[in-house]
Structure 1
C-alpha cells in the first residue's frame, strides 16, 4: 500500500511540474509574440516619421 501511495504522490508531482513547464512555454511564446508586435509597431512608426 505504501508503495502505491508513493507512486501516486510522485505522479501528481510530475504532472504539476509538466503543467508548470507548459505554462512557462506558453508565457514565453506569448511574450515573444508581444515583443515582436511591439518592435514591428516601433519600426512602422519610425518609418512613417522618417518619410
Structure 2
C-alpha cells in the first residue's frame, strides 16, 4: 500500500465513507421504532388471517 497514489487512496477513502454511510442508514432504518412497529403489525395481520376460519 506504500506505493499507492495519494489521489487513488483519497478516492478509495471517499468510496468507503459513502458505502459506510449507506450501511449505517440501512441499519438505522431497520431498527427505527416506526419500522419495527410496522413489521410487527404486518406480521400480526398475516397470523390472524391464517388462523381465522373460512
Fold conserved between structures, TM > 0.5: yes
- Structure 1 match to 2:20: 17
Point out where structure 1 has 5 or more consecutive residues left out of the alignment. 42-51
Larger helix percent: 1
Point out where structure 2 has 5 or more consecutive residues left out of the alignment. 45-54
Q: Could you state the TM-score of these two structures normalised by the residue count of structure 1?
A: 0.58
Aligned residues: 37
How large is the RMSD of aligned CA atoms in angstroms? Answer: 2.3
What is the Cα deviation at residue 20 of structure 1? 0.3
